[in-house]
Structure 1
Amino acid sequence: MRTIRHLALIVLFLVGLGGPVVAQSVERQFQAWLQNDLWPEAAANGVSRATFDAAFKGVTPNLELPDLVLPGEKPGGDAKQRQAEFGSPGAYFAEKTLGAVVAGGQARAREHGRVLDMVEKHFGVPRGIVVAIWGRESGFGRAKIPHDAFQVLGTKAFLATRKELFRKEVLAALQVVERGWASRSAMKSSWAGALGQPQFLPSSLLENAVDMDGDGRRDIWNSVPDTLGSIANYLADHGWVKGRDWGFEVSVPAALSCALEGPDRGKSISEWAKDGVTRVSGKPFPKAELDREGFLLMPAGRNGPAFIVTPNFYVLKDYNTSDLYALFVGNAADRIAHGGRAFQGKWGAVDKLLRSDVAALQRGLEGQGFDVGGADGLPGYKTRRSIGEWQARRGQAPTCFPSAALIKALR
């Protein structure tokens, strides 16, 4: 009995210590993982011992980063959505933010016109798109990017829910330093490990960065020409179709279901027009686009603007997987290049939901045979249209967007 009481006291003592004990344990495991697991693969990829040791000198895991799973724990799903791209749709398009990118982009398009002429000619990507991404990602290079890239990427490669993704990225970051493209001290990143003015993950830096100013370096930290050329090269490498727009804001007749949304349900833009889809500007669709494929996009279902987008929209989503991000860039690009205004459709209020709430809704839909694209708690197009199809089966007017009432009905 004394032994049991003694063990209980030890457990209570450790629990009382809490965070420090856990942190020290994770730190020991992290250092062992660096030396016994990551270093051999880094060496096999051509990284020197000196580069590796300099990269991780004094680095400890940052347990404040999101989406971590401590050793012995199971992944959770109840945290609020951290990225603005996946929050309330309307909030993402606040004119204070969007207008600043437009105004700053117009000024920089004039300032760097000669470089942008070269970029457009070489890569076929419009200057408005390139400058809008630059402004959105780093405030045209002015944003403070405070995190140590090796701490972020190392922590995530060791503890994140997507370890293999970040393992690839930390190995790529080591190669960036090994090749001399950046010094160890320059390797500052976002909380997700993105680098420089274009906010490239290290693997994208290796694959897509270009030397646009001809100095022999691919400098996405300090060189505006390299930054602009690298953004355009990324989009070109991911399939940007020269001469096509990204998309058009449209009005969708009430009789046309929002469940027709998605990149796998495309048809010619002339067919969408025959279905009654019209541009909100009142202009006809460009003649050059009529016989080409377009896709319905309703990111807030019937509770927000609607769009017919082209394959170039999905190239923008390769840069950032959010529909809202790609729409932000598209609208800002149009306004930088041609003037104009924000989207005309109004973003309605939506229920504040946890990712776990949306995941529960998705599991409910999956249980009834719907393809929601996985119960990840993020309302992508497969989830939105599945909601619309479920509502239509029940004789309801499809809204194609999660709500508290829908979650309750599907639990």
Structure 2
Amino acid sequence: MEKISLFSKKIVRYLSILPVLVLLGYSTTSVASVERNISFIQYVENLKQEALTLGIDKGVIDSAFENVEFLQRSVSSDKEQPEFKMTLDTYIPRAVPNWKIQQARDAYTKHYKLLHKIGKEYGVQPRFIVALWGIETNFGKLTGRHYIISSLTTMAYEGRREALFKKQLFAALTILEEGHISQDKFIGSWAGAMGQVQFMPTSYLNYAVDYDGDGKKDIWNTPADVFASAANYLKTEGWNDQQTWGRQVKLPNDFDKSLAGIRQQKSLKEWQALGVRRYDGKDLPDFDLQASVVIPDDENGRVYLAYNNYKVLMHWNRSYYFATAVSYLSERIQHPKIVVE
């Protein structure tokens, strides 16, 4: 935790919640609260009745809401915006400092056999699993400290996306009903992201895996479940372990910027013909791959050719910065090569 203090608290907080904000479709500008004509207590009672109509067990509902509270911190964090302009050149050194690279390599070595077993089964390179783990929660060290039911109830009551957070709340109740985590340990971020991979409750229900076979999909404490859940997400969303994520490139001075964007794809041969080159100026690889030119900031900043796996990372989190940070950390795990006896 001492190393995290290299950032100001505001920067750390913003970096930690930016992925969840983008995932949920937020802009990073201020968010206006919804005016309510009922109290929080009455709103909770309405939610409990709605949960009952969805077939969720009454005992689970009553227990889950027994100690629910309004979290002003969630509302404040939702409205905050950083006091600085973020660019990749400022984001990457903060998201992927040298100490995190070393911890990622150590984690890769420590869990080598398990990671490679899971990687082979799911078709995902282990370095990307570790990189996601590191970017999301600093390898499970920063998973949040808020009761999930309180976080989601607060955001449904006060936030501008009530329907979305109610959906997440009912999914969270289902997780409790299925017995994957005890209520006292059902902790996560102020926005409701959970566990060492920071799944929102609906993502948990769709992708979480009970890899160790103990009957619980434990993304909070069990490395096997954490890694397999991340791998299952990537595989389900279209990951290809025969490809990497992409590469940094240089554009010609006359490049048509309307061709850039993750949704616009061309073959490497076509990009080559348009003057796109490797970062060192050499020709692009002679592979039969589709790729997109990604310009996270502007043409004076970093530019990438993004392959399909980069797009999958953006399914996880619709942020160029997030996908680039994960990709960059994965490269630093891979090079120099780790030799495990």
TM normalised by structure 1 equals 0.69
Quickly say closer, same or farther: Cα 1:80–1:33, change in 2 above 3 A: closer
Shift of 1:279: 1.1
* Structure 1 Cα separation of the partners of residues 137 and 169 of structure 2: 21
In the other structure, the counterpart of 1:81 is: 81
In the other structure, the counterpart of 2:8 is: none
SS of the residue 1:315 aligns to: helix
* Structure 1 Cα separation of the partners of residues 37 and 185 of structure 2: 24
* Alpha carbons 1:68, 1:156 under 8 Å: kept: no
Does 2:56 correspond to 1:43? no
Trace 1:399-410 onto structure 2 (pairs within 5 A). none
Does 2:289 correspond to 1:292? yes
In the other structure, the counterpart of 2:275 is: 276
In the other structure, the counterpart of 1:372 is: none
* Alpha carbons 2:272, 2:283 under 8 Å: kept: no
* Alpha carbons 1:251, 1:277 under 8 Å: kept: yes
SS of the residue 1:65 aligns to: helix
The answer to which of 179-188 and 59-68 deviates more is 59-68
* Alpha carbons 2:137, 2:196 under 8 Å: kept: yes
Higher relative contact order (CA 8 A, sep 6+): 2
* Structure 1 Cα separation of the partners of residues 165 and 211 of structure 2: 28
Shift of 1:248: 0.6
* Structure 1 Cα separation of the partners of residues 275 and 194 of structure 2: 44
In the other structure, the counterpart of 2:65 is: 56
Shift of 1:133: 0.6
Shift of 1:83: 11
Shift of 1:131: 0.2
Shift of 1:96: 7.5
The answer to which of 88-97 and 212-221 deviates more is 88-97
Amino acid in the other structure paired with 1:265? Q
* Structure 2 Cα separation of the partners of residues 336 and 296 of structure 1: 24
The answer to which of 198-207 and 140-149 deviates more is 140-149
Amino acid in the other structure paired with 2:39? Q
Shift of 1:329: 0.2
Quickly say closer, same or farther: Cα 1:256–1:67, change in 2 above 3 A: farther
* Alpha carbons 2:239, 2:309 under 8 Å: kept: yes
* Structure 1 Cα separation of the partners of residues 68 and 107 of structure 2: 37
Quickly say closer, same or farther: Cα 1:258–1:155, change in 2 above 3 A: same
Amino acid in the other structure paired with 2:322? Y
Q: Deviations over 1:140-182 (max 9, x none)?
A: 1112521111111001112211111111110011011110001
Trace 1:326-405 onto structure 2 (pairs within 5 A). 326-339=323-336
Unaligned segments of structure 2, at least 5 residues: 1-34
In the other structure, the counterpart of 1:369 is: none
Shift of 1:89: 3.1
Shift of 1:82: 5.0
* Structure 2 Cα separation of the partners of residues 232 and 297 of structure 1: 24
SS of the residue 1:250 aligns to: strand
Quickly say closer, same or farther: Cα 1:236–1:48, change in 2 above 3 A: same
Does 2:120 correspond to 1:121? yes
* Structure 1 Cα separation of the partners of residues 154 and 332 of structure 2: 40
* Structure 1 Cα separation of the partners of residues 88 and 75 of structure 2: 21
Does 2:325 correspond to 1:312? no
Structure 1 runs of 4+ off > 4 angstroms? 25-28, 281-284
* Alpha carbons 1:56, 1:150 under 8 Å: kept: yes
TM normalised by structure 2 equals 0.82
SS of the residue 2:230 aligns to: helix
In the other structure, the counterpart of 1:154 is: 153
* Structure 2 Cα separation of the partners of residues 95 and 35 of structure 1: 43
Unaligned segments of structure 1, at least 5 residues: 1-24, 70-78, 341-411
Amino acid in the other structure paired with 2:335? H
Shift of 1:257: 2.5
Quickly say closer, same or farther: Cα 1:338–1:89, change in 2 above 3 A: closer
Quickly say closer, same or farther: Cα 1:82–1:148, change in 2 above 3 A: farther
Quickly say closer, same or farther: Cα 1:273–1:83, change in 2 above 3 A: farther
* Alpha carbons 2:251, 2:276 under 8 Å: kept: yes
Trace 1:242-253 onto structure 2 (pairs within 5 A). 242-253=241-252
* Alpha carbons 1:208, 1:233 under 8 Å: kept: yes
* Structure 2 Cα separation of the partners of residues 143 and 68 of structure 1: 17
Does 2:311 correspond to 1:302? no
Does 2:43 correspond to 1:33? yes
The answer to which of 124-133 and 137-146 deviates more is 137-146
CA-based RMSD: 2.5
Trace 1:121-200 onto structure 2 (pairs within 5 A). 121-143=120-142, 145-200=144-199
| Equivalent residue in structure 2 for 1:322, among 294, 315, 319 | 319
Q: Deviations over 1:315-339 (max 9, x none)?
A: 1011111100000000100110233
| Greater radius of gyration (CA) | 1
Quickly say closer, same or farther: Cα 1:195–1:68, change in 2 above 3 A: closer
* Structure 2 Cα separation of the partners of residues 139 and 305 of structure 1: 25
* Structure 2 Cα separation of the partners of residues 331 and 189 of structure 1: 26
